[in-house]
Amino acid sequence: MLKIIEGVDLYEEIDKYDVILVGTNIYCSMSQGFQRKVMLNYPYVQDENMSTKYGDETKLGTILECKKEGKPTFVLCYINKGNFRPDLKKDYLSYESLENCLKLVNILYKGKKVACTMLGASKFDGNGDDERIFEIIAQNCQSLDLTIYDYIQLSRSEEMKKVRVSELKLKEIDLEAYYEAVKKRKEEAYERIKNNGHARY
């Protein structure tokens, strides 16, 4: 079964699923978009990612399961080699790697409730063609109960700007609520860096 949810951030609904797929690169970098949220808030995923060889092209088309007791199960899908010249190459997704990853997922997680973004479509994980990506997903995930979250992922700076704009709007109408919102954000950031050891946001 295949379902698409548009305009909703998958990060907000992770707990609804047995397995979460994360499209990423071979350089152990999960620096922007959905990948960054996973890296910041579920550090065991990046720990597993960092255990792999940096820049190893043999990772393309492979997957890495990241588990921790009582926490969601993530599966990293290595689908691109990064893009060091975005001015010259817009689409840097390896479609063959995406297909190979999904074939493995389809076998290993048969019957599971699985979710992912439109893997490889974001500017952070491949900037690929939506229609071609959807076709690959549909053809290779027939044994899964799969939900695709199709939305525009934001960079770290875009996410922080969005939060700040929201806080300033709140400040205009309810000063006490504004201070509570800022306090909550800072407390969450403090807990986050305690948990992951390197970044608040």
CATH architecture for residues 2-153: 3-Layer(aba) Sandwich (3.40)
Query: Which pLDDT belongs to residue 86?
Result: 83
198 Cβ contact list (under 8 Å, min separation 6): none
Q: What is the mean pLDDT of residues 76-93?
A: 92
| Cα 49 off chain centre by | 13
Instruction: Give helix then strand counts, H and E, for the chain.
Output: 6, 6
pLDDT at residue 88 is higher than 90:
no
pTM of the entire structure? 0.94
> Dihedral of the CA atoms 134, 139, 142, 144 (nearest 10)?
-40
Where in the chain are the domains?
2-153, 157-196
Q: Please, which pLDDT band fits residue 87 given cuts at 50, 70 and 90?
A: confident
Query: What strand order describes the sheet that includes 73-80?
Result: 2-6, 145-150, 113-117, 19-25, 73-80, 63-66
Length of the chain: 201
Query: Which pLDDT belongs to residue 201?
Result: 95
Q: What is the amino acid identity at position 196?
A: N
Q: For CA atoms 80, 138, 151, 52, give the dihedral sign.
A: negative
Q: What is the pLDDT of residues 49-62, one digit of tens each?
A: 999 999 999 999 99
pLDDT at residue 189 is higher than 90:
yes
Pull the structure tokens for residue 100. Answer: 């190979």
How many other C-beta atoms can be found within 10 angstroms of the C-beta atom of residue 114? 23
